[in-house]
Amino acid sequence: MKALLSLSAAVALAACGVSQGQPAKPQAAALYRATSVGRIDALGEARELVAAADGVISRVLVQRGQQVRAGQVLLLVDCAPRAGQAQAALASAQQGSADAALVAAGPRSEAVAAARATLAEAEARLVNAQQALDRAAALVTRGFVSRRDLEARTAERDAAHAARDRAQAQLAELANGSRPLERVAAAAGARAQRGAAQAAAASLGQCELRSPIGGQVLQVLRREGEFSGASQGTPLLVVGDMRSRIVRAEVGERDTAGIAIGAPVEVWIDGSPRRWRGHVSELAALMGRRTARSLDPTDRFDRDVREAIIVIDDPDLPAVAGLRVTVGFKQ
């Protein structure tokens, strides 16, 4: 009986020692200083593109997975009134520029020649009117011309004199050309009209959604006939350059002090034995709220974290923006 009790006690002590001591095989977590949840992203960050103009989407010019270049038009918003305003403003600008050029160029030589001929004709009429008045004045004392006729001939002479003065003034105006202030005013008016045309063109350009980067269309979120939602900041397309990929990891408060730029890491997808090697390239200087939830139900979501940017050295990391991965910071 004593032997049986001694054997039972030895087995219990051995079992207790195994449970309280270190396991014979090291755990995988011991390889890492810390682990965290992260998500795959493009090196230049995936961009959620929004429209600049409210309106109904008239055309989506790309599809998911399509490669696009920087500046390429991806989507059109129906802006017919803006198109009409842009055309009217452009026409006004062209007219203003033409008017300013005419003012700066001055009168045509043909107009100056016509003004000289008009002045010569007016001077000839004045000479005739003066001679007729002189004859009438000589005959009025002899009774051959009445006082009324003399007054009429005097009025004709005065009218011819005024016409001669007006022709002289018109010729001088044409010969002198436009005044400096007139040229300045015409040029300013043309600039104002060009500015209005540029503003109208820019307003029309807001109806085109262009890609800010070269890359791939990752998602098409709105289709033809739907509202662009520019005033609400509604994303319409997601574009990213997935040829170069990073991982955005969120390091907890307890582990952030032990992580440094250049530290080696391994990245894996839960349930997969594959490991991708990389290193820490950036560390945020500001703590923030967690955005990537782990699969651990006990993990707190409201915990402050520090973002770490991981550059992947292996080339075959899945090109899936937003894919959740686990990051292990190596000892």
DSSP annotation of 145 reads S
Verify that 192 and 290 share a domain, yes or no: no
List the chain residues with pLDDT less than 50.
1-28, 294-299, 301
Sequence-distant (6+) residues with CB within 8 A of 285 are: none
Helices and strands counted in the chain (H then E) = 6, 14
Look at residue 43 in the predicted model and tell me its pLDDT.
Answer: 78
Give the pLDDT confidence of 68-80 residue by residue, as tens digits.
Answer: 999 999 999 999 8
For the chain, what is the domain count?
3
At CB < 8 A and 24+ separation, what contacts does 164-173 make? 164/119, 164/122, 164/123, 164/125, 164/126, 166/122, 167/115, 167/118, 167/119, 167/121, 167/122, 167/123, 168/119, 168/122, 170/115, 170/118, 170/119, 171/112, 171/115, 171/116, 171/118, 171/119
Look at residue 292 in the predicted model and tell me its pLDDT.
Answer: 57
Look at residue 321 in the predicted model and tell me its pLDDT.
Answer: 84
Q: Which helix (H) or strand (E) segment is 280 a member of?
A: strand 276-283
Verify that 281 and 135 share a domain, yes or no: no
Verify that 185 and 228 share a domain, yes or no: no
Verify that 65 and 140 share a domain, yes or no: no
Look at residue 194 in the predicted model and tell me its pLDDT.
Answer: 94
Asked whether residue 262 is domain-assigned, the answer is: yes
Give the pLDDT confidence of 296-317 residue by residue, as tens digits.
Answer: 444 454 568 899 999 988 888 8
Verify that 104 and 188 share a domain, yes or no: yes
Task: Report the sign of the C-alpha dihedral through residues 100, 102, 103, 104, in that order.
Answer: positive
Domain that holds residue 220: 47-78+206-239
Verify that 97 and 194 share a domain, yes or no: yes
Look at residue 10 in the predicted model and tell me its pLDDT.
Answer: 44
Verify that 110 and 142 share a domain, yes or no: yes
Sequence-distant (6+) residues with CB within 8 A of 151 are: none
